[in-house]
Every structure is written in C-alpha cells, then in structure tokens.
Homo-oligomer: A and B are copies of this chain.
Amino acid sequence: MTAEIISVGTEILLGQIVDTNASFLARTLADCGINLYFKSVVGDNPGRLASAVRLALSRSDLVILGGGLGPTRDDLTKETVADVLGIRLVNNDEAETRLRGFFKQRGIRLPEANLKQALVFEGGEVFQNANGTAPGVAVEKDGQWIVCLPGPPGELIPMVRDSLVPLLRRLTGPDGGILVSRTVKLAGIGESLVAERLSHLMDNSDPTVAPYAKGGEVHLRITTRATDEKEALPRLDGMDRQISDLLGEHIFGRDDETLESAVLDLCRRSGFSLAGAESCTGGEISRRLTSIPGSSDVFLGCAVTYANNAKTSLLGVRAETLAANGAVSEETAREMALGAKQLFSANTAYATTGIAGPGGGTEEKQVGLVYMAVAGPWGVSVSKARFRGGRETIRAHASQNTLYSLWTALRSLNQER
C-alpha cells in the first residue's frame, strides 16, 4: 500500500507556520508499514487543490489531507475532494450535536458558518473530534481511500491515534507487516566517513541502513519490515552489532538517547556530579543538560560568566591569567573548568570560552575560535577548535564538542574500571 500526504493551507505554503503534521503523519504511516512516496503542500485554492488530489489519486492507494476543515470561506478541502470524487456531502447528526455542545459549553452563539463543519462524505467514515469542532472524514472509492483531517496539531494528532491508525491497521490487515526502526547515533565523525566505513552495509536490503547528519552527529537508521516487533528485534540487533564492531567508539546512544543524556548517564553510573562554566556558549550546554528529566540528580549548576569580572569573582580565574593570555585562551578555559568544579563542589566540570562573533575577532584570535575544557578525576583537558558559520552555528558546534569531550572522558574512565 502506498500513501501520499497533502497539507492544505496558504500559511503552510508561505512558510508562516512549519508543517509538523506532515512529519507526524509520515512517522505514523511508517509504523503501520505503509510506504510514503510523496508529500505536498497547496494553498487555500480549490483549483490547485483539486489538481493535487487528482495527481495523488493517479499514483497512490491512500491520500491523506490535513487542513482546510475550518468554518471560513477559505476552508474548502471536503468540498473539493467530494467534487473530484463525484460524491455528496451529507450532514452528520453526531458531529452537529457535538458542534452545538462545543459552543454552548463556552457560552458562545454558534456562527452559521460553522454548521458546514458537520458535513461528511456520504457512505464514508467519520472521526469525531474530541478537541475541536471539525470531524475527520474518510471514504473509499474504487479501492482507493481518501482521508481529510483537521489542521490544528492538537486535533489532528489525537484523531490519528484514536481513529486513523485503527482504520489503517484494518486496511493493511494482519499480513501487511510493520516497519520497525532503530536509530544508532554517532558523534566525533563525519557523515561521509561513516558512509565510507559502512559502504558494504548501505546496500543491504533488509534491514536497510540510512545515514543522516544532524547537528554535528551522524544518525544511522536501521529499518526492517516484520509481522511484529519480536520478529524484527534480532535483525535490528544483528545490524546494530555490525555497525558497533566498526564504529563502536563513536556510538553514544540509540533512538531517544541524546549526547546530553549519555553524559548524564555516565556521570550517574560513576556516582559523579557535574557543573559547568560557560562564556561564549552563554548557557546552551546547561540548557541542553537540564532539558533531560531527572538531570537534577547529577547536574548541580553552571556559572555563565560573560564578563571578565565574573570569571574572576565567581570562578577564581586569576587576573594575571586573563591579563597574560586573554579571556579566550587555553589557560582561562582550564581555570574556568577547575573553578566551576570547586564552586559547585562537583566531581566533574566543563568550561567554554571563545569568540562567537560576528564582532570581537582579531587576526590572532579569529571569530569561531573556542577553547573547551573538561575537568574531572582525570585532571583537566582542554581542546581548541575554530568553527565556521554564524554566531548560533559556532555556539552550537562549541556546545556539541564540549559535550562530546565530556562523554569521551567519562567513557574512558568507565572502561578503565
């Protein structure tokens, strides 16, 4: 079974909102073992929408439309689809009752225009909407299915889970199988080198392996089609093992694990606490670490010391160090990390100092120059890099590399034990 997604709405087409619905639908289809080959966006224009629907029906078994079920004159998805399919729209009593109840509960008069939201495809299925006023509608015509869902993610997502997925499971039947995936995550290595080292696995047909680069990491997605998770697991494990044998030293996690959660896990395993000192990254590393639920049992805090005075008064960086080497230097990074370790009474600490730009660079110390220090039972190690790109790119690279240095140091310690 092949599917296609059409997102409807001028505000999506013009980039005023990012289309998160389509990503969610794509993952849902994969979980149901349905192949997705095309996704498209059209504005609130009946003519162009009709041509997109006709094209989709010419090449896909299942067409899912999101958006355009609202009450305004611009919302014409159901009307357009009914027209293309040559079927009628009829009133759905339950949808109308819910619609009236929705407005009554809020003490608002029901605008006449909203009544069209209770119209559904004749002979089709209706997905009642627990979170809004527009029901979803679906219909089969000549063996093909068309589904129309409301645009707001807060309505679409629960409706997909509660109504669309059961329909899809019914359509694919017990024999269709599901796609099961695992993502193996690597850092400290580039995508092209990963692809080169694993080139013999990239052509594998089951499971398939696909690399993609994401924020200084390489993610390898292993996918297999199986009747259930139990059948899929040994295949995923086998491929995972082959990847680990070749590139194990770069693998910091799988699936929902992140570099920051991996760092926290290694600290936890060693009984270590962690603190930080950030200059050029401005709190980004601290933000990433504390984005992990439960980070408070390991992470004590961080001193964002933007001003030189703060580096001295909070972290104990010596005035002579700053005078002799400048704030962006190996020595300052070292003293910042040691200072943070002491300030928070932590077992391990990290520090960053650099020039994020666009101003502040000199010939000797150019924009993008960053020193990153990690302190712990191993002492202090400082790495230096010159990152390219704009301010946010440089800060993101510096954050990612600091977390990677921390992870490497903690893992070596763990392996020695």
Contacts and interface: CB of A to CB of B under 8 A. Distances in A.
Contact of A306 (B10, B290, B310): B290
A321 to B, nearest CB: 18
A390 B158 CA distance: 9
A111 B193 contact: yes
Nearest to A274: B306
A287 B224 CA distance: 40
Q: How many copies does the complex hold?
A: 2
A40 interface: yes
B306 A295 contact: yes
Nearest to A40: B40
A313 to B, nearest CB: 8
Nearest to A35: B43
SS class, residues of chain A in contact with chain B: mixed
A316 interface: no
A304 B306 contact: no
A113 B291 contact: no
A5 to B, nearest CB: 8
A345 interface: yes
Contacts of A378: none
Nearest to A285: B283
A74 B210 contact: yes
A307 B344 contact: yes
Contacts of A214: 17
A348 to B, nearest CB: 14
Given A43-B37, A287-B284, A306 B301 contact: yes
B302 A283 contact: yes
Given A36-B14, A41-B39, A72-B211, A388 B131 contact: yes
Given A195-B72, A283-B304, A210 B25 contact: no
Given A108-B190, A299-B306, A71 B195 contact: yes
A212 B114 CA distance: 15
A314 interface: yes
Interface stretch (A230-238, A239-247, A369-377, A391-399): A391-399
Given A113-B195, A212-B11, A304 B282 contact: no
Contacts of A152: 213
A207 to B, nearest CB: 15
14 contacts: A15-B23, A16-B23, A17-B212, A37-B48, A38-B41, A73-B202, A113-B192, A154-B393, A282-B295, A283-B286, A294-B359, A300-B307, A301-B305, A310-B344
